[in-house]
Chain A
Amino acid sequence: MADFLDRRAAVARLLADRRDDLLVVTGLGSPSYDVMAAGDDARNYYLWAAMGSAAMVGLGLAKAQPTKSVLVVTGDGELMMGLGALATIATQKPANLTICVLDNGHFGETGMQASHSGLGVAIDKVAAGMGFPWTARIDDLRGIDDLRLRLSARDGVRLAVVKIKADNPPRVLPSRDGVHIKNRFRAALGFAPN
């Protein structure tokens, strides 16, 4: 096995020097903790349930906010549960959406059982087959730096699989109050709560 990336270091690097126009959606479990560990931000929307939905939340947000960049940070298991979303996203071609799949080949939250990617499914190739014009498999920080620079380009939908070590760093928990996080996010974009 290659030396896979430390998930916290990879996500912190991806969100370093974060621009004001970057909106982030996280899939449930460790990706939410990773983004939280990199620094809580009103422009983050953390999912705690609805497994398989993170990419679609990102699509809806990207379509409603075409002048902002939208980054979905999720895990390989979460992404696979809503695999059809990749087909839906590919047909919509949101130029401002990037999906970053933190891929440790396991279900990290539930006891490190092997996942489909761990058993051979190449999510980046699936996305390419669905019609994503740009996909990547990243296993070093140089690749993370390259992806970060592309976030602001908004010139085509992207999916990057980031190969990470299968470990569980200490949890850094975002708020579980979905209403609060929703209203905080919308306020950051200038929208009042109902």
Chain B
Amino acid sequence: MPHDAPPAQEAGWPVDVFNVLKRHDVKHIVYVPDAGHSTAIRMAVADPDIHSVVLTTEEEGIGYLAGAWLGGERGALLLQSSGVGNCVNTLALAACARFPLLMVVTMRGDWAEFNPWQNPMGQATEAVLKQMGVMTWRADAPEEVSPLLHGAATMAFNGDGACAVLLGQRLIGEKQWVK
């Protein structure tokens, strides 16, 4: 992908994220905001059939989605890679009770990162998820997002799996720090 790629908002994948979640009958979208998730969050907030819940910290979403599943409904957690670190201990809930857990993770510290403070968690994100029993898939091209998220949602909701789709920084695009 060239460095002067068009802004991600003009591409189709951010809309794909929301559409795949809708197609899987997701009724709860819980999130800590990230620029890469802004389209899905905006569409969730505008959708009267979806409960959109802003969290103070990402692990809140694991508990919330477990509760929603106990109540018979599906949801997804949108977060940034740094937030995966906040989730580690709480992932025991998904592992021990086999709650469906679908996470969509926008990556930082991954490619062309300006802020090196993002790098430790960004580099550890996928390994940490795997160590806690979460299955992972990684999308670096726009056309990969929809099929990978569909696959992850299927294994979460039909197979009681903990699943995370990582949206790479090359997909999202370089953050512009100096305007």
Using a CB–CB cutoff of 8 Å, the interface residues on chain A facing chain B are: 23, 25, 45, 47-65, 68, 82, 84-85, 87-88, 91-92, 178-179, 181-182, 185-186, 189-191, 194
Contacts and interface: CB of A to CB of B under 8 A. Distances in A.
Contacts of A185: 70
Nearest to A84: B56
Contacts of A92: 51, 53
Interface of B: 27-28, 51, 53-57, 59-73, 75, 89-90, 92-93, 96-100, 157-160
Contacts of B75: 60
B85 to A, nearest CB: 15
Given A56-B63, A57-B64, A84-B56, 8 more contacts: A25-B67, A63-B28, A68-B71, A82-B59, A92-B51, A186-B72, A190-B72, A194-B100
A182 B69 CA distance: 9
A145 B53 CA distance: 32
A136 to B, nearest CB: 23
Contacts of B90: 50, 52-53
Given A60-B64, A182-B99, A194 B53 contact: no
Chain A binding site: helix, strand, loop or mixed by DSSP?
helix
B63 A57 contact: yes
Chain B binding site: helix, strand, loop or mixed by DSSP?
mixed
A178 B64 contact: no
Nearest to B52: A92
A184 B125 CA distance: 34
B70 to A, nearest CB: 5
A91 B54 contact: yes
Nearest to B158: A194
Contact of B59 (A52, A54, A55, A179): A52
Contact of A58 (B28, B51, B67): B67
B93 A65 contact: no
Nearest to A59: B64
Nearest to A83: B56
Q: Which 7 A-B pairs have the closest CB atoms?
A: A60-B67, A64-B71, A84-B56, A178-B97, A56-B63, A53-B63, A61-B67
A185 B89 CA distance: 23
Given A50-B90, A53-B90, A182-B99, A63 B68 contact: yes
A88 B97 CA distance: 24
Nearest to A49: B92
